[in-house]
Every structure is written in structure tokens, then in C-alpha cells.
Structure 1
Amino acid sequence: MQSVSHSNISPQAPQEVLIVGAGPAGLGMACALADAGIASCVLEANSLASIEQPAEDGREIALTHKGIAILQALGQWQDLPAAEIAPLRRAHVFNGDSPDHLAFDAEGSGREVLGSLVSNHWLRRVAYQGALKRQGLITIRADSRVCGLEIGAEAASLTLSGGERLTAQLLIAADSRFSNIRRQAGVGAQMRDFGRSVIVCRIKHAQANQGIALECFHYGHTLAILPLNGDCSSLVLTLPADRATAMMAWDEAQFMQWVSSELRGRLGDLEPVGARHLYPLVATYAHRFAAQRLALVGDAAVGMHPVTAHGYNFGLYGLSLLAGLLAEAKKKGQDLGGSAALQRYASEHRRNTWAIYQGTNAVVKLFTDERPAARLLRRGVLQAAQALPPVRAAISAQLTGRQPGLLRQLRSLVGAS
């Protein structure tokens, strides 16, 4: 891609919004805009087949109640088969070799479950189905690689690899945590490469998972079990990148024997279901969520470490917020690329995400530090949380997406003492 050029653009019949990235965030953004009567064109570098029939990628997404409510408003939740939605009833956190655990549940929240788990490829599928239902206001263009970008006083313009130029009032980047649009627009990002990778796969087990997620912070690696329907769960293994690459070469018998040993017999006999997938672990946080005629959504704005399961939920919160603000601007006859709505979006989305992003990274840092002092500290943190029900309730509230948020609950707790 070429460097961004800030110049005056005199477009002819500009489109309202251009969205780069046809993942669930980009397509969800297009659907939310369409429901507000705003037309958009979604550009995707990959093939249309990859959008229509997304391949299984091993990733299971934990959705908060707030995230689910947004999917329901978009009509996407209703398109998910019931069998593809697994309840997350409780979460148990283990530290090192200790048999004790810290438990979280939805008690006191008015909910039966902490949230729900849905496969990433299903979220991609229903996002595409939602876009098809709004064809009058959504255009999807696959095999469309952006090679140039201009942002001017009147409009934003993209040049495609074939030379075609598209213009709109607003450009929205939804092209992953390594966003090319973000970079070419001159917006930097805080990037944290953990030097680790994640191996994900489905496993079948002899004992029922009872809807309980297991987060095992072992020394040298973290092993999580996400409960799915039936006798299956999703295994999420985080470990140093070189070790992860080596383990990907293990045969199924060696890998499952190792996993069974690390689970200390929990869930009984194990066997693999499907392929293993490997992902590098890098967290990102854009320096700005909006600039002149530009907004960032999804991972292009905030790319989370998966340990607190907020990543896709943050994407949903952001697109819902931005769509609402743009709907207000349209009703008032305002320019969609004007600064007022975009700056309000940037401010509110930062307020909703910054503390949790930093807190998540702090948790990861503590629970992957293998020095003796750090091991003592993490044991103490879990023991303190176990002894303070209000703290556990505050964390559960954040997991379920309820308000008030974690920080406000902790402030209330301190103020009452």
C-alpha cells in the first residue's frame, strides 16, 4: 500500500461509508449501519468463497450477555443453530500445581450463565448471512486489495490494485489487529508481542464438562478448557512460541498424553477431534480509534490477549457504539465523516476498553512470570480473591458484561470500607 496523502478530494457521487475487512467485525459494522439507513461497501482482499463458507479455524469465542444482545439486535444470534451455542456456567482458575481453585459463576447477576461459547467460523457465517439480508444497503467486494489511500477535507478515497478508485464520506478499518489501513492512515498502535503462541483444538472427553471453563496457569504454560456441547471441549494452550511450534509436530497420541497429564485427570480419558491450529500471540491497542474521516473497529482498534475473553465482545461494543453515533449524525443531516461523532466514539470506546486491556496484560505478565517471587505473588492474588466475595462478584460482572463495570465496583467497595 502507498502512504496516505491528505489532500482535497472532489468526489463524484461519493458512497456513504467504505469498510475494509469482511470479518465478523466488518460485516457486523455494515449490518448495524444498514439498520440505521446508512449504505456501505465492504472490501475484502480474500475470495468470496472464504466469506460465504468460512473454514473452521479452531477458535471458540466467549460472548458476554451484552455481546449477545448486540448480536440479537443485528439478527445474527437468531441465525445460529442452537447446537452451536454452548453455555458457560462457571469458570475455575488453577495456579501451578495447587489442587485448589478460584471459582466464578453468575450467582447474583440474575443470569443462569456467565456467557456463551460459539465457534468463530459460525460467527463469520451469520455475519455474512446478515449482510445478504441487507443487500439494498450493503455491497460486498471480495478479491479487492487496497493499494492506495487518501484522506481529504471532503471525503476519504481508496485505490484498488486494479486501479479503481472508491470514495466515501467515511472509511472504517476492520482489517485485523495488524491493520494495513490503520498503518497507512498514520495511526500507530501499542503492540505487545508476548513471545508466545496459542495451540487450539477440540477434544473429546469421558467425563462431562458441566459447562465449566478451566483456566490452568501452570508453570511454563497456560492451559484452558472451554466447555462445548456434548462430550467435547475446546483446548487452548498458550506457551513459548518455539515450544508451541515443536509441539505442533507431535503426533496425536503424544500430544493427548501430554494434555491429559497437565489436566491432572480432570475430564477423564481424552481424544482429539479435528486438527490443531497455531496462532501467534500479539496484543494491540491503537493510539487513536478515530482520525479525520477514519474510524477503527474490531481488532484494528483493540486486539486482546484471549485470557479474559473480551476481544470479540469489544468489537461488538465498538461497532454498536459507532453505528449509533453515526445514525444520530445522519438524522441531523450531518457529515458522517465529521469529527464530532468520531471523536465521541473514540473517547467512549477508549473508556470502555483501556482499563481492561491493561489489566489483562498485567494478569498475563504476572501469571507467566516464573520467578519465585512472582509465583508467591500470584498465589497470594488468587487466595485474596477467593477470600473476598465482592471482588469475585465484580470480576463475574465484567465477564457477563453487566454494569457497573469492574473498576466502578472496586471503587464502590473501597468507598464503603
Structure 2
Amino acid sequence: MDNPKAPAILRIMSSDSDILIVGGGLSGPILALALAQSGHSVTVIDALSEKIRKNAEFDGRSYAVALTSQRLLNGIGVWDAVADRSQPILEIKVSDGRAGEGPSPFFMHFDHAEIEEGPMGHMVQDRHLRRALLDAMAATAGVTHLAGETVTAQEPTPAGVTVTLASGKTLSGALLVGADGRGSGTATRAGIKRTGWDYAQTALVCAIAHEKPHHGIAHQFFMPPGPLAILPLPGNVSSIVWSEQAQTAAAFHALPDDEYLTMLRPRFGDFLGEISLTGSRFTYPLSLSLAARLVTDRTALIGDAAHGVHPIAGQGLNAGMRDIAALAEVITDATRRGEDPGSAAVLTRYEEWRRFDNTALALATDSFNRLFSNDNAVVRGVRDLGMGLVNKMPGLRRTFIREAAGLTGELPRLMRGAPL
């Protein structure tokens, strides 16, 4: 790797694009659009075909897009395409209890009216965001989307990086970005090791229609086997992320729809009236996966390729958005100064910006899951008392609300609503 303290003067070999991005899910296209709009040429290498990416069926995945992540999407011209299909998160209610017994009297209640900036975030389905990103890439000069292609090799040099595709084609650029998920081939080929563990939990995910309106309130109900998140979608519909021990989750998932609902009802409660399934059901195994490095020779990692965390706080996507906004800003500022965007000096700035926050989030979500996913009477008493105290302290409650909205820490320009 270059000396990180040496000036990184722009001296790149002839390239197909300035930046090569592996991964066509969400993180890769968002970074591509941010960079292209600041004058860079970008190639997104996507293992899935465009037909699969554009599939409009609900696949269970919905995201709590924090306020600052919404600003990023607005800054790259994507938010307007999904705004009408999004649901503002106006309140968050956090409680503790057991299935069928109702919540503890101690709880936390966060209301967006306690901050000046507006809703803490919006719920958006993956399928709508994915299609909006594909359309935006197709309409943006400087972005090349290679669908149905996989990378088989990558080779960094002092002057650039070359990747070889399964089709035999080679591409070159100044920087390679891994946006290819928790099992990142980019990270593996770069020799970046990972640490983490399996939680022996599985998330049961589906959409539920209900009789009564949710009023934009998101609920997090902690139970001994794992948390149940009830997240508002447009209309009288909510997204369910229901964490159970892996063996129990497999048994529940195998049930017919009516029996599945019978198992869900005592956990869900009756506060929204009668419930029914809308669309299919899905499962996702839960684990923690943290890359030992965010950068190495002409390579950077973003999103789940850098850090895969428990969905207990719904912050996985938003942490990835911070990676994207920070990396786009670091690359853009470096290029404007005449620096080589793939040099060690430039990449070190990105790693130093994001490393602590990513590690802290991984540890926080892991600790929360361990704290709440147990039935120890002493621990239950302490955590319930803690929630009650937080709820009675306006200053601390406001801090939690700002954290949920993504308004804390050193925000990149795109997340402040400013242009690159």
C-alpha cells in the first residue's frame, strides 16, 4: 500500500471507469449515483440480471430510512421516485414482555415532535427503492450498469486496479469498492478478514394488514427469544420483523398461513384489530459480521460488506448510507485537489471517518440483543427500570430521537442536505 502520509497526486493508468463498484443491491447504485453526479465515471458490476432486480413482488424487505439517509437519497435525485410509496415514522414505542402477557408498564416513547427537523425517518419497501435506483442509473450519464456479471479476480497496482469478470472481460479503474454484502467476494479476494458470530436467531419477515390505522407509529416489543418489530407501511399495513430462536423460527415458517397467524397474534397483540397476511413470508438468519479493515490496496468496503449487524435497531441500512456519503465526499474532495482517489492516503481518510462508528454500532446492537433476548428476572427488572427512566428524562429521550433520525455524529455533506 502507498505511504498514507505521502501526497497522493493523481497518476492513474488508463481506465474504463474512475471507480469500479461490485454489488448492484442498494449500496452500490447509491454510491454510483453520488459519484457520477460529482463528475466521476462509475461501473456497477451486478451479479443479478436486471429482470430479477426489477421484480416488483414484495420480498419481505422494508427499510427504516432515517432522516439523514432520506437527505442522501434526495441529494442524488432518487427520493421523489419513492416518496409517495413511503410511510413517515412519527413515533417509536419500545416495550418489554412475554408473548400473550402484554408489555411491561415500563416503556420508551419517542415522538418526532420533540425535534425540529421533522419525521425521524420513513419506511420504504426494498422493491420500490431498488427500481428507483435502477431507473436513476439508466438515466445518469457516467454510470455503467453491468447486470448478470460476477468478478472472479481483482489485481491492485500502484497505478490502479483491474478486475476480471466471469465472462472473461477485464475492467480497470482507480478504485474498487466492495458493496457485495456480508459474504463479500471483494473483501475475501483483498485478504480482508472478518470477525463475528451467529446469533442462532432467525428473522421471520412478512407484511400484515390490520383493521385499525397505525398512525405512523413503529413498535419494538422485546421478548425473551428475540424482538418483534412492527413497522408502519402505507395504508393499514405493517412490516413485521419477528426474531425467534432458529429452530423455533423454522417450525413457525413451515406452518400454513392460518397457523402462522395463530402463533403471531399473542405476540402482536390486538391493538391494531384483526390482522391478516398480505404477500409472502420470508426468513433471514441473524448474525454479526464485521470486516477487520474498511480499506486495503485500492479497495474500499461499504454497507454490509463492511458491517452486518443485528436488525434490532433497524440501523443497518442507515450505517451503510453513512459509509456511502462519507466515501463519496472523501473521493470527490480528493479528486478536486488533484489527488488519486484510490491512493492509501485518500482511503485512510474514509476508514478513519467510519471505522469507530461502525464498530460502535455492531457492539451496541450485539449488546442490546444479549440484554433483551433473555428471561433472567434480575436483568428484566434492570432493563425495564432503565427504559422507564429514559422515558421520564426529556433531554435523554431527545438524544435517542436524534440518534434514530441519524442526526448525531460527524455528518457528511449529503446527509446534511448539502451538495457534494
Q: Settle same-fold status: TM greater than 0.5.
A: yes
SS class of match (1:80): helix
> Is the aligned partner of 1:126 residue 2:98?
no
Greater mean alpha carbon deviation, residues 92-101 or residues 279-288? 92-101
Q: Structure 1 CA distance, aligned partners of 2:409 and 2:337?
A: 31
Report the AA paired with residue 17 of structure 2.
Q
What does 1:16-415 align with in structure 2 at a 5 Å threshold? 16-53=18-55, 55-82=57-84, 84-97=85-98, 98-100=103-105, 101-134=107-140, 136-403=141-408
Q: Structure 2 CA distance, aligned partners of 1:184 and 1:54?
A: 33
Report the AA paired with residue 126 of structure 1.
A
Q: Is the 8 A contact 1:326 1:341 kept in 2?
A: yes
Q: Is the 8 A contact 2:104 2:384 kept in 1?
A: no
SS class of match (1:107): helix
SS class of match (1:373): helix
| Aligned-pair CA distance for 1:308 | 1.1
Report the AA paired with residue 68 of structure 1.
Q
- CA change 1:284–1:75 in 2 (3 A) is same
| Aligned-pair CA distance for 1:112 | 3.8
| Aligned-pair CA distance for 1:46 | 1.4
Report the AA paired with residue 111 of structure 2.
D
C-alpha RMSD over aligned residues: 1.8
The answer for the alignment partner of 1:409 in structure 2 is none
1:132-180: per-residue Cα shift (whole Å, max 9, x none)?
111x311111121111121222221111123222221110000012211
The answer for the alignment partner of 1:410 in structure 2 is none
Q: Structure 2 CA distance, aligned partners of 1:273 and 1:99?
A: 29
Report the AA paired with residue 27 of structure 1.
P
Q: Structure 1 CA distance, aligned partners of 2:29 and 2:225?
A: 38
Q: Is the 8 A contact 2:93 2:218 kept in 1?
A: yes
Greater mean alpha carbon deviation, residues 148-157 or residues 93-102? 93-102
Q: Percent identity?
A: 28
Q: Structure 2 CA distance, aligned partners of 1:164 and 1:93?
A: 51
1:90-121: per-residue Cα shift (whole Å, max 9, x none)?
11111114342321112331144221100011
1:378-416: per-residue Cα shift (whole Å, max 9, x none)?
2232223223332221111100112358xxxxxxxxxxx
SS class of match (1:50): helix
Q: Which has the higher contact order (CA 8 A, sep 6+)?
A: 2
1:5-46: per-residue Cα shift (whole Å, max 9, x none)?
xxxxx9654531111001111011111110111101111111
SS class of match (2:347): helix
Report the AA paired with residue 212 of structure 2.
Q
Q: Is the 8 A contact 1:40 1:139 kept in 2?
A: yes
Number of residue equivalences: 394
Q: Structure 2 CA distance, aligned partners of 1:358 and 1:334?
A: 34
| Aligned-pair CA distance for 1:54 | 5.5
Greater mean alpha carbon deviation, residues 106-115 or residues 265-274? 106-115
Greater mean alpha carbon deviation, residues 323-332 or residues 104-113? 104-113
SS class of match (1:15): coil
| Aligned-pair CA distance for 1:61 | 0.4
| Aligned-pair CA distance for 1:330 | 1.5
- CA change 1:404–1:154 in 2 (3 A) is closer
Q: Structure 1 CA distance, aligned partners of 2:17 and 2:234?
A: 44
Report the AA paired with residue 86 of structure 2.
I
Q: Is the 8 A contact 1:54 1:124 kept in 2?
A: no
Q: Structure 2 CA distance, aligned partners of 1:154 and 1:242?
A: 50
| Aligned-pair CA distance for 1:81 | 4.9
- When normalised by structure 2's length, the TM-score is 0.89
Report the AA paired with residue 87 of structure 2.
A
Q: Is the 8 A contact 2:33 2:76 kept in 1?
A: yes
Which segments of 5 or more consecutive residues in structure 2 lack a partner in the other structure? 1-11, 411-420
1:313-337: per-residue Cα shift (whole Å, max 9, x none)?
1122211111111111222222121
SS class of match (1:223): strand
SS class of match (1:299): helix
Q: Structure 2 CA distance, aligned partners of 1:326 and 1:119?
A: 30
| Aligned-pair CA distance for 1:292 | 1.5
SS class of match (1:354): helix
Q: Is the 8 A contact 1:173 1:296 kept in 2?
A: yes
